[in-house]
């Protein structure tokens, strides 16, 4: 089954109220599909099996097509009272003077996203395990969810263990555990005689830890573009070939295809919901939004409208191609365009390390919306 872009059906999804604890670019041009469905009684636990090109009904909408609107009820939580935020995301702590970036909500074109309710989340997922698998963007989303839930149950007893590669946060009374498994490329990096080798055909290093979860949210791409000292490997293993480098989109496609085969062979999707977090954009190049001399620094409001001037990155097409080839149902959280519009939501110079960060996101901030969309998908 191909991937599903979750859409909200107003006739079937009741409104809720939340607070939370938390080779070439052309070859991968996206053949993006859009799915708008409601509940049904299929064998996959009531999840719809409809697929197709931009199927849209009057009773539903695409959750990921819309615009940002000012909303005085935001944010969901106060960063100073959440014990789970890393300094690199705590923009207010490190002196960001403006707060308007906290006051925007995502509004789909023809429906309303249910507002998160942390208590309802804990009750619904009592005894369940949710795992985020990926790089520092997964960390961003994991900490966001932790803070959102914590805001609704601030006195709840928790167990918090932050380690590499596996970190856990458990709300003891509910038996709800949020896991984070850090693996920037998803596929393995192994030590060989020649040095660190990125193995495009293997996920054995972490896959055992991903099993038996109730919800899995995967993410990758951010580190695939790194070169020089920030590159995480010395060689790439592509089958029997060992090469110093290759086209990074080709490498990403091959690595993500290995992950897809693992999901198809190892995950029982009648018991485990599987998501892929769409490509999270950067804002270092102002030419992408028609401000060629700018970056994310000093940006204080989102772009208007519902489209990004430079369009989606080629890496989003890779994700689309891989998910469309899969047998098991994997839901794409298509956060790319809505995140591209948020040039104002990065730490920039307020991430505590003295640099300019236009890759990650402030907390509270944009990842809270990612989690709100995740929650909407889970409650369908």
Catalytic residue among 135, 188, 344, 357: 357
Catalytic residue among 136, 220, 348, 359: 136
| Residue 73 · residue 30 · CB < 8 Å | no
SS3 106: strand
Burial classification of residue 241, based on how many CB atoms lie within 10 Å of its CB (0-12 exposed, 13-18 middle, 19 or more buried): exposed
Q: Is 357 a catalytic residue?
A: yes
Which residues neighbour 247 within 8 Å (Cβ) at sequence distance 6 or greater? 23, 24
| Residue 220 · residue 204 · CB < 8 Å | no
CA dist 241 → 180, 191, 200, 309 (Å) = 32, 16, 11, 39
Sheet strands (E) in 282-363: 331-333
Q: Return the structure tokens found at 43.
A: 């064998």
d(CA 49, CA 341): 30
Q: Is 136 a catalytic residue?
A: yes
Q: Is the peptide bond before 75 cis (omega within 30 degrees of 0)?
A: yes
List the helix and strand counts (H, then E) for the chain. 7, 16
Residues that are catalytic: 136, 357, 360
């Amino acid at each position: 089954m191909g991937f599903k872009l979750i859409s909200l059906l107003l006739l079937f999804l009741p409104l809720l109220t939340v607070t939370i604890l938390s080779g070439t670019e052309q070859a991968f041009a996206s053949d993006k599909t859009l799915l708008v469905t409601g509940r049904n009684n299929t064998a996959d636990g009531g999840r719809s099996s409809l697929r197709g090109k931009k199927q849209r009904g009057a009773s539903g909408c695409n959750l990921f097509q819309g615009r940002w609107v000012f909303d005085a009820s935001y944010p969901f939580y106060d960063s100073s009272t959440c014990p789970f935020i890393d300094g690199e995301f705590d923009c207010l702590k490190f002196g960001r003077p403006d707060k308007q970036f906290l006051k925007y909500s995502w509004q789909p074109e023809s429906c309303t996203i249910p507002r998160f309710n942390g208590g309802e989340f804990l009750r619904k997922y009592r005894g369940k395990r949710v795992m985020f698998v990926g790089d520092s963007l997964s960390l961003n989303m994991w900490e966001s969810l932790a803070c959102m839930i914590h805001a609704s149950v601030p006195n709840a007893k928790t167990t918090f263990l932050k380690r590499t590669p596996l970190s856990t946060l458990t709300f003891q009374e509910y038996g709800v555990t949020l896991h984070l498994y850090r693996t920037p490329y998803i596929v393995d990096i192994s030590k060989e005689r020649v040095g660190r080798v990125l193995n495009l055909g293997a996920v054995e290093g972490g896959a055992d830890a991903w099993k038996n979860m109730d919800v899995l949210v995967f993410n990758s791409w951010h580190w695939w573009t790194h070169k020089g000292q920030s590159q995480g490997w010395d060689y790439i293993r592509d089958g029997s070939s060992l090469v110093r480098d290759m086209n990074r989109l080709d490498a990403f496609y091959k690595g993500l295809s290995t992950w897809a085969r693992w999901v198809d062979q190892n995950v029982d999707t009648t018991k485990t919901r599987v998501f892929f977090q769409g490509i999270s954009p950067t804002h270092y190049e102002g030419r992408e939004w028609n401000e060629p001399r700018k970056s994310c620094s000093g940006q204080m409001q989102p772009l208007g409208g519902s489209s990004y001037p430079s369009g989606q990155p080629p890496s989003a097409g890779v994700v689309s191609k891989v998910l469309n080839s899969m047998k098991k149902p994997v839901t794409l959280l298509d956060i790319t365009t809505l995140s591209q519009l948020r040039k104002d939501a990065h730490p920039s110079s307020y991430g505590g390390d003295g640099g300019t960060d236009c890759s990650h996101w402030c907390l509270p901030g944009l990842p809270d919306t990612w989690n709100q969309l995740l929650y909407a998908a889970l409650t369908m």
